[in-house]
């Protein structure tokens, strides 16, 4: 089959590899669409993936092409979205229900071959069947949406909070849409990319700006970084109101560093927390998606052939467009 392969740091190519075969409790998915994500860029720069080479792609959906001997939950021809999370179910974190912190955490497209290929293997337990009205290609958005759902699980947001989001890429926009569901009193978005800010405005945020200084508010109850950019994170930490919460949602480079003010954290009871990938949120995200919480035509800006995977990564890195998909 044809697949994109990250063979080394900074090295990616589309090549031919062996077709996958399912284990007893696995399925082979004929991939309809695979979304690109900041994690893929981190893998390309030598972070996250435990070993290279690897076929990337952890946001994907498709049609079941083959099933393992002990699979009864799905059948060939079923359309599914795939939760890429892989856990050991044995370590102390898995046993306490914190599987996303698993000591042996892995992911399809990170530690095993992913969806940037014609076919991908997944545990049947990770597959969610799609309702008839959901387009298979669009369902690749369920994985990033499940990460956003996890983010709001961590926040446990109260009604009528003021929210500031750094970044209006796919994840920032998803945090915006879910923030509206939580009953936020206001949601404001900061980004240097004016084209992306226009999309945030289209989705109905309270205000947009290229700097938080432009917004008329002393502080926000909830500040969310959806960029992973150290300068944005540093700025956001200073924008949290008394008793407020800062959520590190964007994925920063390993080397990124920021400064904190311990006295202010103590004196103003500020919470700094993080949200890691998916935890008990994929099925809920699938339900939300089926219910129309996102408009795929707004979120997906580019659908490119798999052969253009390297160029698609470059486009994503340059901040052009929103969600970019490859269609094997």
Cα 143–Cα 135–Cα 182 angle in degrees, nearest 5: 50
Model pLDDT, residue 171: 97
Which CATH architecture fits 2-129+295-327? Alpha-Beta Complex (3.90)
Kindly indicate the confidence band of residue 256, based on its pLDDT and cuts at 50, 70 and 90.
very high
- 255's CB contacts (< 8 A; 6+ apart) are none
Give 23-60 pLDDT, tens digit per residue. 999 999 999 999 999 999 999 999 989 999 999 999 99
pLDDT at 218 over 90: no
Determine the average pLDDT of the residues in 9-17: 97
Cα 318 to Cα 328: distance, rounded to the nearest angstrom: 23
Burial (CB < 10 A; 0-12, 13-18, 19+), residue 284, is middle
Can you give the pLDDT at residue 100?
A: 97
pLDDT digits 0-9 by tens, 66-121: 999 999 999 999 999 999 999 999 999 999 999 999 999 999 999 999 999 999 99
Ranges of each domain in the chain: 2-129+295-327, 148-274
Instruction: Encode pLDDT of 151-184 as tens digits.
Output: 999 999 888 999 999 999 999 999 999 999 999 9
Q: Is the peptide bond prior to 53 cis by the omega test (within 30 degrees of 0)?
A: yes
Pairwise CA distance, residues 96 & 177, whole Å: 30
What average pLDDT does range 201-227 have in this prediction? 96
For residue 146, name the pLDDT band (cuts at 50, 70, 90): very high
Selection from 236, 276, 242, 281 nearest residue 259 by Cα: 236
Distance CA 240, CA 318 (A): 29
What was the pLDDT predicted at 158?
86
Written as six digits, the tokens of 262 are 């311990």
The answer on pLDDT for 216 being more than 90 is no
Average pLDDT rounded to a whole number, residues 203-224? 96
- pLDDT at residue 202 is higher than 90: yes
Task: Provide the token pair at 202.
Answer: 């289209």
Q: What pTM was computed for the model? A: 0.96
Q: What is the mean pLDDT of the chain?
A: 97
d(C-alpha 168, C-alpha 218), whole Å: 21
Q: Are 328 and 34 in contact (CB under 8 A)?
A: yes
One of 3.30.530.20, 2.60.120.330, 3.40.50.720, 1.10.3470.10 is the CATH number of 148-274, namely 3.40.50.720
Residues near 192 by Cβ (< 8 Å), separated by ≥ 6? 210
At CA 97, angle to CA 247 and CA 226, rounded to 5?
A: 20
């Amino acid at each position: 089959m044809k697949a994109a392969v990250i063979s080394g740091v900074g090295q990616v190519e589309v090549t031919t590899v062996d077709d996958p075969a399912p284990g007893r409790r696995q399925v082979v998915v004929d991939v309809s669409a695979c979304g690109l994500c900041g994690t893929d860029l981190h893998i390309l720069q030598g972070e996250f993936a435990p070993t290279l080479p690897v076929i990337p792609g952890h946001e994907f959906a498709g049609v079941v092409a083959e099933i393992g001997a002990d699979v009864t939950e799905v059948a060939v021809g079923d359309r599914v979205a795939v939760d890429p999370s892989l856990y050991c179910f044995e370590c102390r974190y898995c046993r306490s229900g914190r599987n996303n912190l698993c000591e042996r955490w892995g992911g399809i497209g990170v530690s095993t071959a992913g969806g940037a290929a014609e076919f991908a293997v997944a545990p049947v337990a990770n597959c969610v069947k799609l309702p008839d009205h959901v387009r298979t290609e669009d369902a690749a958005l369920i994985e990033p949406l499940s990460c956003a759902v996890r983010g709001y699980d961590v926040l446990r947001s109260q009604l009528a909070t003021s929210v500031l989001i750094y970044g209006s890429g796919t994840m920032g926009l998803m945090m915006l849409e879910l923030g509206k569901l939580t009953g936020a009193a206001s949601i404001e978005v900061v980004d240097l990319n004016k084209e992306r800010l226009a999309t945030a405005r289209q989705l109905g945020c309270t205000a947009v700006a290229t700097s938080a200084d432009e917004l008329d508010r002393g502080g926000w109850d909830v500040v969310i970084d959806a960029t992973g950019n150290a300068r944005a994170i540093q700025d956001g930490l200073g924008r949290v109101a008394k008793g407020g919460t800062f959520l590190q949602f964007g994925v920063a480079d390993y080397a990124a560093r920021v400064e904190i003010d311990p006295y202010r954290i103590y004196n103003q009871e500020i919470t700094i927390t993080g949200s890691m990938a998916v935890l008990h949120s994929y099925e809920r995200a699938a339900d939300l998606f089926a219910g129309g919480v996102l408009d795929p035509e707004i979120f997906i800006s580019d659908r490119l052939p798999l052969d253009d995977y390297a160029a698609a990564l470059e486009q994503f890195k340059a901040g052009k467009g929103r969600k970019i998909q490859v269609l094997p």
